[in-house]
Chain A
Amino acid sequence: MSFDSPAIALGASFIAIGALLKDIGFNLEQSIFSTFLTYALPGSLVMAESFLVGASLINIFLAVWLVNARLYPMTVSLMPLLLHKSQPRWKYYLSCHFIAVSAWLIMKSNYQSIEKKYRIDFWMGIGTGTWSIAIVSTIIGFLVSDYLNKDMMIGLAIVNPVYFACMMVGAMKSLQINLSIILGAILGPLFFFVSPEWSILYGGVLAGTLAYFVGEFK
């Protein structure tokens, strides 16, 4: 089992967040509160950037909503796999808080080995585990930030995309998914020249839709 391995990448990313939050003037309690309540890395980065330039609350809301809108298709493509009549609804509404790239990718590659009735419980376990690592790492990042130099921060920052890229390569098991991933990686950056804010949603929705149709009608 390689269950210890996602912890390193996840931990490195949130250590970077903890250091960043301290840098922009959050105290320790506020930094913990932030990861505890948000637990989605790109959203926290956007929040920090917006806060630094003194953006209004409405602007922060819109910027974060936009960058985290990917959580909607991620939830829709995960929860139906976990739904079971015998399980209470509150579990789904509570545990959707754990939907973030790491936990989602782990669940997507493991759900088939879990009996459907117990999948939501398994998911809550994965979610609590990854979420706890994120919170503890935020604390570590906040506390050690004075000892991290710029080069170490750059090194920490690459760990997250490397981890996600490897997990994506690991998920490439059908024509539809392979195409989705390859087209998304090409169209996302291309749309950056059209609109930096909307590039991920535009590029992602177009790439996913193309891949879907190619896969369905081949």
Chain B
Amino acid sequence: MSEMSSNIILVILVTSFATYLSRFLGVVSSEKIDAKSKIFRWFNCIAYSILAALIARIVIFPAGVLEEADLWLRLIVIIISIIIFIISKKNLVYPTVLSAILLTLLNNYL
């Protein structure tokens, strides 16, 4: 095995360990937490807030290729998709498929 590929394997192992750690500690803590307790409700709020913060960050301050579409284009696509989601009685197929097509087209022709 070349040095490069053993390096990649190490990177993957370190990444998966860093990821599993939070899941594992979460299960350990869960053993002592009742689903009706206040601490459960608090963690529930934090989980939803962190996810909302993550989504907002991906849209407003993206890290990858998304950077190459303008901020206002990204926001328009997100807002239109949420409206489609609500109008279509919470169907996930229409907004997700349309969002990809919409952003590709808008980014090309605007």
Question: Is the pair A169, B85 in contact by a Cβ cutoff of 8 Å?
Answer: yes
CB pair B48–A171 under 8 Å, yes or no, is: yes
- Classify chain A: how many residues form its interface, as a range: 35 or more
In contact, B25 and A72 (Cβ under 8 angstroms): yes
Q: What is the total number of residues of chain B having a CB less than 8 Å from a CB of chain A?
A: 79
Contact A207 B34 (CB under 8 A): no
Residue in B41, B68, B74, B82 whose beta carbon sits within 8 Å of that of A212 in the complex: B41
A64 to chain B: which residues have CB within 8 Å? 14-15, 18-19
Q: 10 other contacts beyond A8-B93, A165-B59, with CB at 8 A cut-off?
A: A65-B21, A71-B23, A76-B47, A77-B46, A154-B69, A161-B59, A166-B95, A184-B52, A205-B46, A209-B46
Q: Which residues of B contact A (CB under 8 A)?
A: 4-5, 8-27, 29-31, 33-35, 38, 40-66, 68-69, 74, 77-78, 81-82, 85-86, 90-93, 95-97, 99-101, 103-104, 107-108
CB-based closest 8 A-B pairs: A75-B26, A188-B53, A204-B50, A184-B52, A184-B49, A208-B46, A79-B30, A208-B49
